[in-house]
Amino acid sequence: MTASTNIEIAGIKDAIRALNKIEPGLRKQFQQEATKIAQPAIEEAQRGYVGLPLSGMAYNWTRDGKKLFPYDPAKAARGVKVKLDAARNAVAVIVIQQTNVAAAIFEAAGRKTANRLGESLGALSPGRTRIIGPAVYRKRGAVTREMEQAALRIVNQVNRELQ
């Protein structure tokens, strides 16, 4: 599973940044449309969060005063969201991410460097995740086509409004 998909539409970051300047609420509307388009991948990822990965993850864990666990599969499933990131230094503009702290730790433990938690959860290839990556990879065909069309509509709409 070393294949990687990268679709780049020139001007999409600028178009998303300009949405609220042109007409307030347009960015929110595009966010809702992107979430609707990505729904098959989101649902596929949510189905992956069943059960408790490790028994110790059911207990409270804190680090430096921050609560990290307990892991709750229902909260983990609700934490899968679409984010628009139009910052100049952003790698991706439309991202499916995990917002639940415990689930994010489960997703990425051992991804960058080897550690006991990552080894207990199962080895990962560098740069991979456990649930979201494979789920998006399985649903990428339909999601990518529709997302490209939505992004092009937004770019064209912004261009029309600016002329």
61-107, pLDDT tens digit by residue?
A: 888 888 888 888 899 999 999 888 777 777 677 788 888 988 888 88
Domain ranges of the chain: 12-162
pLDDT in tens, 98-155: 889 888 888 887 777 777 777 777 776 666 778 888 888 888 888 888 888 887 887 7
Q: Please state the three-class secondary structure of the chain as a single string.
A: CCCCCCCCCCCHHHHHHHHHHHCCCHHHHHHHHHHHHCHHHHHHHHHHCCCCCCHHHHCCEEECCEEEECCCHHHHHHCEEEEECCCCCCCCCEEEEECCHHHHHHHHCCCCCCCHHHHHHCCCCCCCCCCHHHHHHHHHHHHHHHHHHHHHHHHHHHHHHHC
> Residue 3: what pLDDT?
40
Average pLDDT for 45-55: 83
Q: How confident is the model at residue 4 (pLDDT cuts 50, 70, 90)?
A: very low
